[in-house]
Chain A
Amino acid sequence: MEWISLISMWLIPIFIAFILLYGTLKKVPAYEKFVEGGKEGIHIAVSIIPYLIGMMVAIGIFRASGALDSLVGMLKPLLVWIGLPPEVFPLAIIRPISGNAALGMVSDLLAVHGPDSYIGRLASVIQGSTDTTFYVLTVYFGAVGIKKMGDALKVGLLADIAGFIAAVLIVTWMFGQG
């Protein structure tokens, strides 16, 4: 744990120092270019607001109405058959939709089952090895104004499913189901 947090702590500062020194060495007017590039950031952040509001409100309604719980209940027999513990399933459904909600679920699972249980480990691996597909899609496509997503969502969600299956197999293989 010690060395990991140490690396994480040093990585960003070293990265920043490297870019500034390298830029200066190459005679780039660093501060002026920084401001120039930064201005773009404000525009991007503001322009994704409507995309994010639209998506998050729909997800919020879906969750608060109990529709999500019903969906989870309906799919339960299938999951038990695959070998995914039902407790972890809501996480698998939420993970692609909302990163914050997923994080909330992970800490809930760790609190109830303990971080070193099968469910605790599985939840940790799932959270650590997948990303919020909907959020990534919304932000990236929203920021540059892509209206037709093509197969992007399908590909992203299928890849998530592959990730979950891999997580179940690997955790079971490494630690057993105890």
Chain B
Amino acid sequence: MVNWIWVGMTVVGLIFAAVNGKMEEVNKAIFQSSAEAVTICIGLISVLVFWLGLMRIAEEAGLLQKLSRLFKPIVAKLFPEVPADHPAMGYIISNMTANLFGLGNAATPLGIKAMEELKRLNGGKTEASRSMITFLAINTSSITLIPTTVLAIRFSYDSAAPAEIVAPAIIATACSTVAAVLIDRFFYLRRKRKGGN
């Protein structure tokens, strides 16, 4: 799937460039995009190191387990394959909490840790497990209470009421999260009918 999309986007792009005479722009884009990707990763180092360091303390102190016990009833329904007291549950919940408060930078390292634990649960296979797909679905529909970046942009364009989009954004994000969970369940049941995992 990824292979197809990746090759497809690149080849279609290159053919378009040849037809439209946009080779110069494409050449520029190749080097700019790769440089940008490295910049993003380097930028991630600071955030990852800080939050993973902090999270290690929280983990050792037993905070993750406490948090997961608190939210267990709801989240356990979403992840029936994850044992309730498994560290994966703690990371999943802290990732959701961080997303909820718009702390995207804090959410990423936690999400990666959750993935790591889910992979361990899945016997270290390189194939995405059911729980991983559910986790990603919930993550990409991003439950946010305060979309800080958008507020900042609206503010800078002299909006009369920059915060008026907060409520609709919460409703929209709730809709998309519910949809994500339902769509995920649908695909899971379809896989199961076909005899997969």
Asked if A153 contacts B2 (CB within 8 A), the reply is yes
Asked if B154 contacts A110 (CB within 8 A), the reply is yes
Is B55 interfacial (CB-CB < 8 Å)?
A: yes
Contact with B along A34-53 (1 / 0, CB 8 A): 11111111101110110011
Which residues on the A side are within 8 Å of B78 (C-beta)?
none
Asked if B141 contacts A163 (CB within 8 A), the reply is yes
With CB as the reference atom, state the residue of chain B lying closest to A47. B41
Which residues on the B side are within 8 Å of A33 (C-beta)?
53, 56-57, 60
Q: How far is the CA of A37 from the CA of B48 in the complex (A)?
A: 9
With CB as the reference atom, state the residue of chain A lying closest to B50. A38
With CB as the reference atom, state the residue of chain B lying closest to A26. B61
- Surface stretch bound by A, among B69-77, B79-87, B161-169: B161-169
State the interface size on chain A (CB cutoff 8 A). Answer: 100
Asked if B53 contacts A159 (CB within 8 A), the reply is no
State the interface size on chain B (CB cutoff 8 A). Answer: 106
Which residues on the A side are within 8 Å of B140 (C-beta)?
96, 130-133, 136-137, 156, 159-160
Q: Interface SS of chain B: helix, strand, loop or mixed?
A: helix
Shortest distance between the CB of B66 and any CB in chain A (Å):
9
Partner of B139, one of A55, A131, A171: A131
Asked if B25 contacts A64 (CB within 8 A), the reply is yes
Which residues on the A side are within 8 Å of B48 (C-beta)?
40-42, 44-45
**Would you list which residues of chain A between 151 and 178 have a CB under 8 Å from chain B?**
151-156, 158-160, 162-163, 166-167, 170-171, 174-175
Asked if B25 contacts A65 (CB within 8 A), the reply is yes
Partner of B16, one of A20, A66, A159, A167: A66
Which residues on the A side are within 8 Å of B151 (C-beta)?
1, 4, 128
Which residues on the B side are within 8 Å of A111 (C-beta)?
157
Shortest distance between the CB of A153 and any CB in chain B (Å):
6
Asked if B41 contacts A8 (CB within 8 A), the reply is no
Which residues on the A side are within 8 Å of B47 (C-beta)?
41
Q: How far is the CA of A12 from the CA of B98 in the complex (A)?
A: 10
With CB as the reference atom, state the residue of chain B lying closest to A100. B36
Partner of B55, one of A37, A110, A127, A146: A37
Asked if B183 contacts A159 (CB within 8 A), the reply is yes
Centre residue among A20, A56, A159, A170 by max chain B CB count within 10 A: A159
The interface of chain A, by Cβ under 8 A from chain B, is 1, 4, 7-8, 11-12, 15-16, 19-20, 22-23, 25-26, 28, 30, 33-42, 44-46, 48-49, 52-67, 70, 96, 100, 103, 106-107, 110-111, 114-116, 120-121, 124-133, 136-137, 139-141, 143-156, 158-160, 162-163, 166-167, 170-171, 174-175
Given contacts A8-B148, A62-B10, A141-B128, 9 further A-B contacts (CB under 8 A): A1-B151, A41-B47, A41-B49, A41-B53, A42-B48, A59-B33, A60-B29, A64-B25, A143-B115
Q: List 7 A-B contacts (CB under 8 A).
A: A23-B57, A48-B41, A129-B176, A131-B142, A136-B140, A149-B1, A159-B141
